[in-house]
Every structure is written in structure tokens, then in C-alpha cells.
Structure 1
Amino acid sequence: MSDKRLWKIKPVQNVRQRVLGGYLHELRELAGLSQKSMGKKVGIDLFTFIDQIEKGRVAIPEPYYDAFAGAYGVSSADFRRFCNSPLQSFDHHYTLLLASRPDRILAVSDQCW
């Protein structure tokens, strides 16, 4: 999908998308990526599009789910489940998503000892 086509995606204005955007912002920071480096990793040259996703103004285009999952360091299946979950279960799915990151599991187990 070309970057020009990304900007033609209809803006999303709802609470669910804004909350999801906040979680995606946190995932990007946990992965240690800037918006610009995230854009490069997922194949989107317009890094401002990442900002629009994180602010909940647009949704991640379906063809990019696997690329985003890889950049965040989580499984594609878990990421799709998280992105498609209802607002009420975001916390639950986000916890499962974080648990699928090997580096996060080690960090949690290190704190327990």
C-alpha cells in the first residue's frame, strides 16, 4: 500500500480507537522505537501516520498488522486479537500481549526475585 493511499483512509473518531492508540503508543515506547523508526520498520515512510494512529485518529490498516506486531515484538495472532477486542477487554488483552514479549517476561520474573 503506498503512503498516498494511507492518507485516504477515513478518520476514526471514537473512544475505543483513542484508547487503543494510547496502548499502541506505550507498546512502541516499550520496543524502544521513535515514531520515525517505527514507520520505517513497518514500511510507512510518513512517520506522522504513526502519530495519527497513536492519537486514535486513524486505525492501523489491516495489511500492516503483521508488520506492527513484529515491530512491537509480539505475536501476530495476539496483536490481531488485541486490536480487534472490545474496549471493555483491552486491559485483559493488553496484559496477554505484554506477556507474549520474552523481554517483558524476564523483566517481571527478575523483579519477583
Structure 2
Amino acid sequence: MSSNTQHVEHQLRREGGAWLKNLRENVGLTQRAFSVTVGTDYYTFISQIENGRGRVPPERYKVWAEVLKVDPKEFMQGLMRYYDPYGYEMLFGEFPQPRDVGDDKRNVA
């Protein structure tokens, strides 16, 4: 895996965490309250995800979408954009780019 590919994936993961944090804040929940609501044992796990150092567990996607008041399909599409950019590209026709990488969508290999 090239250095640029790793950079793109890391940046997308961080942006995904920021997206999730924004959704959580929009429903008015603290990390602690959110962790209780979605059934996570430690609010620090929410912090790790929001900082791009973890992922939402797949078996919890639906409950997260419900608590965040996001349509489950839209939530999954958003997660896929940040967590699985290659699958996202296959389904939606474009490789998601982090804000700081530029416009060359093929500059990831």
C-alpha cells in the first residue's frame, strides 16, 4: 500500500469521525450520554471513533442511525464513504476524496 493511499484512508477515517461527532452533537448528546444510548460500555470508545481511531461496530450500525436520527441507508452510505472508499467507489461511481488531497480522484494507488 502506497504512502498516499494510507494518507487518504487515514484522512477519510478522521473526516468520518468528525461527521459522526457532528451528527451526535446535532441530536444534543454528549459522548457519555450517546455511549449509554447506543449500548457502548465506555464513552471513551465514542471519542476514539470521533477521532478516527476506531470504527462503529457493524452490528451497531442500525442503532447508531436511529439514535443519530439518520435514515439507515444514508448512514450506511456515509460510513462506507469514510470506512470503505473502494466499495463506495464501486457502488456510487466516485472515489471519495479527503478535503486536503485535491481533485485527482485516481491519485490513490
Counterpart CA distance in 2 for 1:80 and 1:88 is: 17
SS at match of 1:45: coil
Change (3 A) 1:19 1:62: same
Distance 1:84 1:65 in 2: 11
Instruction: Provide the secondary structure at the position in 2 that maps to 1:88.
Output: coil
Structure-2 residue corresponding to 1:70: 66
- The alignment yields a C-alpha RMSD, in angstroms, of 1.9
TM-score (norm 1): 0.64
Q: Check if 1:53 corresponds to 2:49.
A: yes
Distance, in Å, in 1 between the alignment partners of 2:32 and 2:76 is: 23
Aligned pairs (5 A) from 1:82-101? 82-85=78-81, 86=85, 87-88=96-97
Identify which of structures 1 and 2 has the higher relative contact order when contacts are C-alpha pairs closer than 8 Å and 6+ apart. Answer: 2
Identity score, percent: 35
Cα deviation, residue 89, structure 1: 8.6
1:37 to 29, 33, 40: 33
**What stretches of structure 2 of length at least 5 have no aligned partner?**
1-8, 86-95, 100-109
| 1:17 pairs with one of 13, 29, 46 | 13
1 CA distance for matches of 2:98 and 2:38? 26
Tell me the amino acid that sits aligned with residue 31 of structure 1. V
CA distance in 2, matches of 1:50, 1:82: 17
* SS of structure 1 residue aligned to 2:97: helix
Q: Which runs of 5+ in 1 are unaligned?
A: 1-12, 91-113
**Equivalent position amino acid for 2:97 in 1:** Q
Q: Shift of the alpha carbon at 1:88?
A: 2.9
Distance in 1, Cα, partners of 2:57 & 2:48: 12
**TM-score normalised by the chain length of structure 2:** 0.66
Matches of 2:22 and 2:35 in 1, distance apart? 15
